[in-house]
């Protein structure tokens, strides 16, 4: 039997397209799926069938791989990953490699890394971004865990990854669950930017009263500016789509109840544990949650009315600047979380490398990531991107516009929590003195939690009554 270079378990959209990508680059690959139709489909779509093979039996799949074997799991996160590992483990040998390519929770990855190391199996988690097209023609990949195992597969991953200026959008990120953690925060930033774009759309549609065609033209034009990014680009394309049955714009017929798979929530939850403020991501998660209460919102709309009329004192140039301001803040917050997580969990992340591999292939790719990469090259220990002189100056120059946009939205009753979170974060971060001294006094009043003073060293408690 022919021996294959690499195998993937799970021949859904991502698994199938990654194998086809690898075959295109000269690697012989095999896939395993319990669904015979998926296994057959893999071979039918391959141009060189002798270099690609689909299996439905685990034993035949494992025996077809070159030793030491390299296997990627592309199955749903959680129990299915453990089940897949459990079924394969009796068939594996010492020094075989198992890669989890899904959106696994980072603590699950840490556990699996430790468990498999005891059995002399190399394991690493690798976040993959880019969707179906990215998997087929070049994704951004975020591996972390077993460095030795990654080196053995580096040539494959660098070959199939997206390229920017000739550089592959993949690199070893660090120990343990570093790869899955970076992908988790990537998805959190993705949540934030998607929410900001949705709010910009709402401002134009409800606040400014623009027709759908004009909004589409604006998003399309924005992608030729400093807002150039995958998510802005596809929003312009989404707004073009007409429903084949009704002829209406398809977007207007889509339910406003948003779904999620949990990665945004995980980002917010762990950010709170790390005391890393990520309010834009928090608000994006919150709005998806609120969207699910459709029946309650319909009832509330009948009584919690807003009939105010205000002058529209904003325009699309101001809105563009506001969106750019907020997007930069979303990235900055995510990078701060990665820095703190790297320190807390011992990942050893290089944020310049993270920015570099996000420039191409992934969902949050954007022109501004090159600016972030340069900022971290200049100052590898930069605590926050807002402290980079060029980036900071770009926000200072645009802050007037986001304040005006938020004001109009509030006056018109349009919910823009992510825009509000962006300017509030900016204002809090630039405040030499915050009002949290009041909170410290309150805590000491009711709980004798003590406080520090600005005029002398030490910890104090006051008799407030």
Which residues are tagged catalytic?
A: 183, 190
How many CA atoms within 13 Å lie on the side-chain side of 370?
10
Between CA 351 and CA 172 the distance in angstroms is 12
Please list the residues that pair with 124 across neighbouring strands.
99, 145
Q: Is 191 annotated as a binding residue?
A: yes
Between CA 204 and CA 202 the distance in angstroms is 5
Q: Is 186 annotated as a binding residue?
A: yes
Contact between 283 and 195 (Cβ < 8 Å): yes
Between CA 360 and CA 129 the distance in angstroms is 10
Residues with Cβ < 8 Å from 354, sequence gap 6 or more? 142, 173, 182, 335, 338
The SS3 assignment for 161 reads: coil
Q: Is 150 annotated as a binding residue?
A: no
**248: which 2 tokens?**
């209406």
341 sits in which H/E element: helix 316-345
Q: Is 112 annotated as a binding residue?
A: no
Helix/strand number for the chain, H first, E second: 19, 11
Exposed, middle or buried: residue 253 (CB in 10 Å: 0-12, 13-18, 19+)? exposed
Strand 167-168, strand 163-164: pairing: antiparallel
C-alpha to C-alpha distances, 35 to 40, 57, 315, nearest whole angstrom? 9, 10, 53
**Residue 262 CA to chain centroid, in angstroms?**
11
Q: Of the candidates 271, 270, 260, 138, which has an alpha carbon nearest to the alpha carbon of residue 194? A: 260
Q: Of the candidates 142, 151, 152, 162, which has an alpha carbon nearest to the alpha carbon of residue 21? A: 162
- Which stretches does DSSP call E strand in 63-210? 70-73, 97-100, 122-129, 140-145, 163-164, 167-168
Q: Is 443 annotated as a binding residue?
A: yes
Q: Is 453 annotated as a binding residue?
A: no
Q: Is 456 annotated as a binding residue?
A: no
Q: Is 25 annotated as a binding residue?
A: no
Q: Is 17 annotated as a binding residue?
A: no
Q: Is 103 annotated as a binding residue?
A: yes
Q: Is 131 annotated as a binding residue?
A: yes
Q: Of the candidates 213, 307, 291, 233, which has an alpha carbon nearest to the alpha carbon of residue 259? A: 291
Tell me phi and psi for residue 72, to 5 degrees. -110, 135
Binding residue positions = 103, 129-131, 186-187, 191, 261, 288, 443, 449
Binding residue positions for substrate = 103, 129-131, 186-187, 191, 261, 288, 443, 449
């Amino acid at each position: 039997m022919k021996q294959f270079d690499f195998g993937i378990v799970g021949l859904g959209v991502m698994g199938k397209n990654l194998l086809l990508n690898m075959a295109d680059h000269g690697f012989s690959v095999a896939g395993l799926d319990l669904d015979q139709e998926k296994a057959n489909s893999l071979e039918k779509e391959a141009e060189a069938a002798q270099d690609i093979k689909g299996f439905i039996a685990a034993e035949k799949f494992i025996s077809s791989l070159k030793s030491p074997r390299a296997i990627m799991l592309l199955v749903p996160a959680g129990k299915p990953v453990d089940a897949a590992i459990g079924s394969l483990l009796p068939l594996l040998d010492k020094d075989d490699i198992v890669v989890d390519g899904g959106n696994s929770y980072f603590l699950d990855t840490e556990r699996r890394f430790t468990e498999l190391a005891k059995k002399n199996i190399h394991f690493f988690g690798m976040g993959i971004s880019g969707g179906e097209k990215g998997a087929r023609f070049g994704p951004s990949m975020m591996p972390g865990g077993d460095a030795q195992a990654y080196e053995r597969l580096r040539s494959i991953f660098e070959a199939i990854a997206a390229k920017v200026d000739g550089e592959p959008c993949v690199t070893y990120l660090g120990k343990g669950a570093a790869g899955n953690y970076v992908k988790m925060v990537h998805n959190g930033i993705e949540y934030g930017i998607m929410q900001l774009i949705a709010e910009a759309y709402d401002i134009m549609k409800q606040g400014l009263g623009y027709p759908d065609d004009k909004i589409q033209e604006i998003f399309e034009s924005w992608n030729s500016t400093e807002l150039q990014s995958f998510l802005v680009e596809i929003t312009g394309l989404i707004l073009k789509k007409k429903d084949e049955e009704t002829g209406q714009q398809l977007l207007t017929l889509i339910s406003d109840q948003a779904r999620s798979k949990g990665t945004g929530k995980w980002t917010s939850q762990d950010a709170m544990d790390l005391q890393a403020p990520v309010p834009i991501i928090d608000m994006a998660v919150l709005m998806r949650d609120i969207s699910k209460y459709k029946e309650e919102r319909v009832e509330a709309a009948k009584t919690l009315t807003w009939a105010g009329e205000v002058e529209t004192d904003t325009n699309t140039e101001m809105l563009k600047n506001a969106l750019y301001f907020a997007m930069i803040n979303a990235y900055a917050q995510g990078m701060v979380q990665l820095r703190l997580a790297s320190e807390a969990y011992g990942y050893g992340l290089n944020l310049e490398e993270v920015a570099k591999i996000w420039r191409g292939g992934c969902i949050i790719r954007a022109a501004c990531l090159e600016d972030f990469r340069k900022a971290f090259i200049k100052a590898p220990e930069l605590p926050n991107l807002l402290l980079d002189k060029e980036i900071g100056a770009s926000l200072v120059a645009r802050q007037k516009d986001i304040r005006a946009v938020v004001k109009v939205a509030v006056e018109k009753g349009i919910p823009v929590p992510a825009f509000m979170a962006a300017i509030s974060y900016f204002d809090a971060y630039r405040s030499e003195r915050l009002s949290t001294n009041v909170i410290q006094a309150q805590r000491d009043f009711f709980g004798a939690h003590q406080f520090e003073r600005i005029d002398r060293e030490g910890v104090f408690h006051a008799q407030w009554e």
